[in-house]
Structure 1
Amino acid sequence: MADDTTLPETSPHGAPRDADRQRLLAHDRQARILALLRRTGSLTVAAAAAELAVSDMTIRRDLVELEREGRLVRIHGGAIEADNPPLVAMDSEEPSFDSRLRQRRDPKAAIAAAAAALVSGYRTIALDVGTTTYLMAEHLRDLPHAKVFTNSLRIAAALNGGVPEVYVAGGRVRADEMSTGGPAAIAQFEALWFDVAVIGVSGITADGLFDYSFDDTDMKRAYLRRSGTKIVLCDSAKFLRMSLVRIAPLSDIDILITDAEPPAKIAAALAAAKVDLRIAPPLTRD
């Protein structure tokens, strides 16, 4: 007598039962998900669901099963290849402000100009410390009816004599960065509400935004909490780089302005977090 455990169960008419049919459909669907991953390096739940004409929930179940088998790694809103993890660099020491200002000056200037154009319609603008926000400040000197709030003494000095009203958070000064921080500075700005906040970062990965300084990071988080629109400026050399402090997940921001398309894994994470990615055009020289 044959061992019937080796045969698929069938209905009375000889067709595979529903459970077997569902397993076959899932197997085919998951094979197509893996094929998409091999082609792109990453995918979002929404994109996979649209491609395969199934629900987001179905794709999420497939991703859970494929991750359990070690075939992929789930990230927020999607997945990346298991055998091709992103190469993330760790920056342990913060370069001086002047050296950072010299590095990639043209891409930073392009980002700064694009950011200034974007915020020009807002009334209350919070500006974080950093080289790109510093370059941005020059574009805001003639901005009418604006109030600029910052914890950067350099930005305040760059705006001195310009049109906007300038407010500086009072607190302990971090010498090289010329930034104010600490509980007093944060408490001042926590009592306010900004139309828009523009922050700088030392690096971005699919896991979020990073910076070197605990004090500056605390103020960045205050800006994110107390603003209606949250903009991050980051030149493309900072992609796949992290440093001491994680500021926030990507889902905490609204817009990222950079100078080039990010790597696929970061692009997928940004899309999953519904971040508006904007590529600043190069500046033309006269």
Structure 2
Amino acid sequence: MKSSKELMADKESLVTKINEAVQYIKSKTTRQPQIGIVLGTGLGPLAEQLEEVTSIPYGDIPHFPTPTIAGHSGRLLIGELGGQCIAAMQGRVHYYEGYDTAEITFPVRVLDRLGIKTIILTNACGAVSKHFAPGDLMVIEDHLSFFCPSPLRGGNLDEFGERFVDMSAAYTPELVKLAENTAKELGQKLQKGVYGYWHGPTFETAAEIRGFMALGADVVGMSTVPEAIVARHCGLNTLGISCITNMTCIYGTDGTNHEDVIEVGNQVSEKFIALIKGIVEKI
């Protein structure tokens, strides 16, 4: 058990690291991003839509966590999209890679200190609801965080937010509605539902999926929730969009593998990018 003095030292160290990362990024660009986007599986090609891009490898940014998983390039891109200056994270890290949730969410705090007001979190996930299908896109209206160690554990970062965070509207209702309207204008089908967090790296057992279903999850995935919690702690407007890449194991006996997830993500990429770009244009 750490003493209060040790917890305070940890907090001060984290704030120092965030500031060092921010200063490094500011030394590479004078642009002021207003929107942050975390690009999950299938959205990496969105980088090609950006104009006047500054590309910074995560490995060059002090203290920035680096992905180890295929489909996550590990670059911070700052440029123009849909008339907006955005900071796009081309890839993220996950709990199953060995990072704790404070490390996973470090980039969200850096983006907040860069000046973003809105963050869009995207991901690939598996369908729990029988009404969904691979290739569907879903706007997240809420999440289940029971399997997610809290990224807010430890000394509170008072510079960012209050000790106890209201999560009753974890995903900004106005942005959820904006996503629905944008999809309608594009002629796209957009599901809406609850995202259940799973720590991975194993895919879920049938019993675990039935448990998620009983708790009200429509999809299950291994990211996004810790980032959403910290985004709310920072007071950011938050939107989550999922790409459903597979039906979970209760719907068949073929099993699930990462290669299939990447393949379906790539197939849906064009539709996914059009939706995100349309949303950004309206924010």
Looking at both structures, which has the greater relative contact order when contacts are Cα pairs under 8 Å and sequence separation is at least 6? 2
**What TM-score results when the alignment is normalised by the length of structure 2?**
0.25
Larger radius of gyration: 1
**What TM-score results when the alignment is normalised by the length of structure 1?**
0.24
